[in-house]
Chains A and B, each alone.
Chain A
Amino acid sequence: MKILTPIKAYDELEMLAENGAEEFYCGITPREWLERYTGAFWLNRRSPKGGGLESFAELRQVVDGAHARGIPVFITLNAPHYTTEQMSYVMRLARTLDEEIGVDALIVADINLLIQLSEAKLRAQIHISSLAAALNVEAVRFLLNFGPSRIVLPRSVTIPEIETIVTAVRDEVEIEVFMLNDGCAFEEGFCSTTHHHSVGAFCTSLSGMEAEFEGNRGQSLTFRQTVRLKRNLTHYREYVWYLNGNGCGATAKGLPYGPCGLCAIPDFYRIGVASLKIVGRESGALKKLASLKMVHDIVTRTREGVPKLHVIERSRALRQTPEHCDAGFMCYYKV
């Protein structure tokens, strides 16, 4: 079970490698894509501004530096889909990343791109993104047709569901799960919205909209129903606040808030999950470091055989914000 860490600059590499990063993932949006499509059509799932490496030269530095430390580097080409016009560009990019840069894997969501890559027989492996929405064993088996070495499960898959999937395909493909930061209110593979900076995330945008309730088929709601619905909506907005890192906040010690799966690590280790994903390519170096140190602490204890209950207590102690742990909304997984 490896710790997968985001990276967006060569300057971050040594710091992250020295503090427990065992796999890296990153993104890049070449200038010609940006000039042609601006921010209207993202090449991958992070904004072209600030979510990726700045140049192929820097990406090469990251890859070479990581490889010198025995750490693989994966790169995201995980837009939900590409049109035919875009696909030819993306395939050329994939070949460049594979042949000239030497990335270890491409993280892909578009079925058509998976088709193309499975036929291209690149050296780089294929990781199927959570945006492919592999929510069940049948879907995972379907995706195996494209020859991936790893499938990333969506955030919404629960621990029992993960165990069912891993058990079913243990000998055929690695399974990666989300571990820390950046939740999503929706099923990401079926979210048709944009995070364009002019409008922001749809989930937080909703929190600022006027909302009115109406009974089914035009029927009136009772006073009690209305009160309950409004209270529920308030709770939901609080839930969205937690999904977005408690309003993009951090503890007094600089630990990031946000969806957290630390308490589930013993279960993932037992189940045989291959990789734990720390989210946040766009985040600052200190947030990445703090996130990595938390996950590394818990993974180390788990590998050493510390009992699950003690690992959970350690996870809560690391955060030192029991009120947020107890709120129930900051957990990626219910343990």
Chain B
Amino acid sequence: MEWSIHAADASDIRARLSPEEIRHSESDSKLTPALALVARLIEEYFGQLEFSRCAYGTEFCENLIPKPAAVQAVLWAAAEYGLPLTFLTPYVSDEGIEALKPVFDLLNRSAVDGGMECEVVFNDWGVLSLLRREFPDLIPVQGRLLNKSLRDPRITGVYPETSTSLGPQTALVNLRRSNLDSSSYIGFISSMGVRKIELDSLPQGIDLSQIDERVAVGVYLPFGFTATSRSCLAAGLHYPKRDKFQPGAPCHHECQTHLVEYTYTNSPFENRDQKFYLKGNTYFFAHSEAMLRSLFEQARQGRLRRLIFQRRLPMWE
């Protein structure tokens, strides 16, 4: 099993992180408890993190797709550490497809000329289609947005305790899986050249044992996503009210100035301390201790190939 670091920029790339460095990540203070928790458990299970791969890019917002110059800087920095690159891409409009093409061209040349393998995580079937047709030397990886498992900590984290009242065990078993247990689906994406997939750990627990062995699994931590939108709360910040929250509206990266922490104080269950974090157009939740332990135990059992560590909410320019 390998570790990958999702870097915000070239200066964020490093070969290793100690639990102490994780605890004191240059991050938003509201995320400190989540980072402290994951640091403690990483220390318990792994000692420290030794990275053999670097990830860069954005999964959630086409306005945050990095320019080729920034990607080049990351490629150079990653090469200095001997880390191959995984480039993350979001769901996109036609405009976003055009923004990705020069980046893919750069990565493709780097892969062909430099001999460094480069993965591209796609969260949009149109991006996969583009990769296969025009950039066949880039290795496609199915992103976590294309895995449609329920991730709703308002309720799915409560299921294991109250499953007799909220749903029978069959429901819970299926909520811990996805279509990745289907040989026909895996056969299909394999025929598309996809041999790796990325997932979120799930509040209700995730059963990695059922995933077809023809694909290698990577899981993000310590943040999972819940919902994302083309109607961004942050991008409307400076607009007249009636022009706000429009899909595809001009964005000035207003999301980079702040985050919003929500507390589920109106829960009908006991989880009234459940937090959600909004950064830009996407809502995230932090992994609980139970989720992290389950994930690390499954990693020890060899059920996943890669863990992708994100020191901050993955919404940076």
Q: Which residues of A contact B (CB under 8 A)?
A: 36-41, 80-87, 110-112, 115-116, 132-143, 156-158, 161, 164-165, 185-187, 189-194, 196, 198-199, 202, 205-206, 208-218, 221, 225, 228-229, 232-233, 235-236, 239, 326-329, 334
* Interface residue ranges of B148-177 to A (CB < 8 Å): 148-152, 154-156, 159, 166-168, 170-175, 177
Chain B 121-164 interface mask (CB, 8 Å, partner A; 1/0):
00111111110000000000000010111111011100100000
Selected contact of B264 from candidates A191, A209, A217, A239, CB within 8 Å: A209
| Cα separation A111 to B128 with both chains bound (whole Å) | 14
Contact status B188-A111, CB under 8 Å: yes
Contact status A136-B124, CB under 8 Å: yes
Selected contact of A232 from candidates B145, B172, B233, CB within 8 Å: B233
Chain B 239-261 interface mask (CB, 8 Å, partner A; 1/0):
00111111110000000111111
Interface secondary structure of A, over-half rule: helix
B87 within 8 A of A: no
B276 within 8 A of A: yes
Take A198-B155, A212-B30 as given contacts and tell me if A164 and B94 are in contact as well, using a CB distance cutoff of 8 Å. Answer: yes
Contact status A136-B150, CB under 8 Å: no
Complex contacts, A80 vs chain B, CB 8 Å: 148
Complex contacts, A110 vs chain B, CB 8 Å: 148, 179
Take A138-B126, A194-B156, A196-B155 as given contacts and tell me if A211 and B262 are in contact as well, using a CB distance cutoff of 8 Å. Answer: yes
Contact status B28-A214, CB under 8 Å: yes
CB-CB nearest 5 A-B residue pairs: A328-B242, A138-B126, A40-B167, A139-B126, A80-B148
| Cα separation A37 to B177 with both chains bound (whole Å) | 14
**Interface hit among B45-53, B66-74, B221-229, B292-300:** B221-229
Contact status A192-B155, CB under 8 Å: no
Complex contacts, A187 vs chain B, CB 8 Å: 91, 227-230
B265 within 8 A of A: yes
| Cα separation A38 to B27 with both chains bound (whole Å) | 41
Contact status A236-B245, CB under 8 Å: yes
Selected contact of B148 from candidates A136, A192, A233, CB within 8 Å: A192
Could you name 10 residue pairs across A and B whose Cβ atoms are closer than 8 Å?
A38-B166, A40-B167, A85-B170, A115-B184, A136-B96, A138-B129, A139-B126, A142-B128, A211-B263, A214-B259
Closest to A210 in B: B263
Complex contacts, A115 vs chain B, CB 8 Å: 184-185, 188
Closest to A160 in B: B248
| Cα separation A331 to B217 with both chains bound (whole Å) | 41
Complex contacts, A211 vs chain B, CB 8 Å: 260-263
B73 to chain A, nearest CB (A): 20
